[in-house]
Structure 1
Amino acid sequence: MRVTRSLTIKQMAMVSTVTLIIVSLFILLQLFHFVQQRRLDYAQQMESVALTIRQPLSEAVLKADIPLVERLLATLKLSGVIARADIVLPDNIHALHNEFILEKPVPALVSHLFELPVSIRIPLYSPERAMRGPLALLVLQADSARIYQFIRVTVATMLIAYLLLALMLTVAISWCINRLVIRPVRHLALALKTLAPEDLIAHQLPLLVGHRDDELGQLIMAYNHNQQTLGSIYNEMYCKASGFALPSLPNEALFLALIEQHSKSVENAAPLAVIVLRVETLQETHTLVTDDQRNILLITLVNRIRDCIDASCVLAQINHSDFALLITRDSHIFRTMRLARKMTRKLTQPVTLGQFQLHPETSMGISLHEKETPHAKELLNRASSAMMSAHYHGKNQINVFRTGNGDG
């Protein structure tokens, strides 16, 4: 299966998206803060300028000296931030209006978000304090175009700065994630992808350097533990299905399959021979010894049998006391009998189990794979029949199954 969308691309896209969202929030927060500061600065400047002409402007309004009022208002133009000035009477009547600069249009959304234009109201009181309320209000309005230009410059500057910061953060975070997570995961995926089918059960992943105490290390250790458990279960099931667990020998079903396989591959060669041997001692001591002692006795007997045979022979366990031996090379009757006598001498040697000393007794039966080519089951049954005949003839006897004459 090919990787169509790499984790590197996915994590870079995710990191970039999250970084851009966070950067956008920072830009908005700082932009509103900077604009609010600029609004306060303009308001303080207009208030300072208005206070310098407040007293003479109040006297001029009281005397209704319009030319003097206009000259005083004209001095406000020098501040550079005031776009217009109005004299408003208490009844909200605009008595005088003066525009210092031609205001440029500002987008309605910007005006709504940042509450433009910035304006202040300065009350004008009578010098004699004869009136309770103010004579009029001096309304000053800042140049919104200047604030809009400040917003554009600020946004452009922060965008360039924060986008560069976002790019550096994305590259740095992506490199760290790629090194800490994606490369090890890719290494593990490659190791599992190239795994041979015969290594599936016993496969173990190597513990990565630097990841022994993190989640990847836990993942690898859990995988290896599960593989060990699976291997144990598989071996146990295999032993139950194909052999005995303790001496690691094939069972009867697997032994018959091996006979069929060898009989088909050596049709024109020397005949096969099957020996079935029974260790009487394994039956007689079943209730006299412990399980551990029985296991020691069983392993000892199996090792003695293996000492007598070579790699061309196949040893199997039929039941708890019977064994079968398939001879695939030099299986003539004389050599087979010589092997059987050798195993009898070896197996009947004393075995010491703690305070007990046992003298094993055996019975052996031999059958040959002849030209009529009997089935594997028939060949095993003939050897078993010959073994039973040897058993009835006495201790440590060997009998050969002969066609036509029965057991001989």
Structure 2
Amino acid sequence: MRKAIALQPADHTMRVAPGRRGPPSFGQEVEIRGVSKFYGDMRAVDAVSLKVAPGEFLSLLGPSGSGKTSLLMMIAGFETADQGTISVGTRDLTYVAPNERGIGMVFQKYALFPHMTVAQNIAFPLKMRKFPADDIRRKVQETLALVRLEDYGERMPSQLSGGQQQRIAVARAIVFEPPVLLMDEPLGALDKKLREQLQIEIKQLQQRLGITVIYVTHDQEEALTMSDRVAVMCHGRLEQIGTPVELYERPGSALVADFIGKMNFIDGEWVGLGGAAGIVRVKNCGSLAAHGNPRGSDAVLAARQPVRMAIRPEQWRISKQGQGGEYVLDGVIQNAIFVGSYRVFLVRLADEGVVQVQLPAGQASQHLAEGESVELSCEPEAIHLFPARIAG
């Protein structure tokens, strides 16, 4: 990794990492060690430890009150950790003032200066760092080009759309080439189509510059789309960290399984058949074959132990009554919903309520009608199994 760029007037043209996945140009490692934050008796962040690699895009994902924004504010320096340490590169920043950390920050509300032009807004952090006027003009124009707003320098923020204002906020945060960029739900105020467009643009810009990004969101699709890794938080704790694929396919807890993607939960009783193989019997509607390796636990399942199955909607197979095979759950199609490229069937399973089944919108799903009795099955590998006591 190349040495981080010093924030001083001697700085030269903004460097760009070659290629889509090139080496980081100025991103640095972030290390959080045992960080906790208290607000009175409430522990908002509970002994969180994680490392963010140079040039990595890491999202902090969780519901409201999970501690993700409090953790971000401590990295930025706007809040002080009550326990633990925070470092960027070789610098311990735990008690360093926010303006001395050299970290870029983008908020949901764009926080642009309304009395300044676009160019003046972007130039502001450079002026605060005493860059020469010629360097400021050059860097502002380079950064405007990066966010594809080269001709907007003389406009006022009020003359821009929401998406354009957020691009300018990003430009202002990266113009001085910070080692880390923090983003606090920056797309939350935008409509869905524009939000999806900017997700791709921000990710491409981050890859091109090689900057380290820590991104806070409660939107799971946004986190999965943009991130190299996602850290799922709940009640101030780090529940699981991994790539989007790892979290989706191998959730470490029922909470993560429920929060990442759509998931059906079905309670049942474990019936072991030897080794890791077995079946889960579901009251009044049948049974499914499963592997007895409960996620998030080292416990060995005992016979007749209550368990919770988690199954993705797209993992189901649906058959007419008597055609599903040996291990099936009996149900009745309550609703059939057309959603473009796929169909969603809401199937009622006796005492277990309604589950979602997602099938491609082809011939195989067109013969299924509301009110029809059906059988549901899936591969054992599709079942995420959790002991009921940790199903949460």
TM-score range, shorter chain: under 0.3
Give the TM-score, by structure 1 length. 0.20
Bigger share in helix: 1
Greater Cα radius of gyration, structure 1 or 2: 1
Give the TM-score, by structure 2 length. 0.21
Structure with higher RCO (Cα < 8 A, 6+ apart)? 2
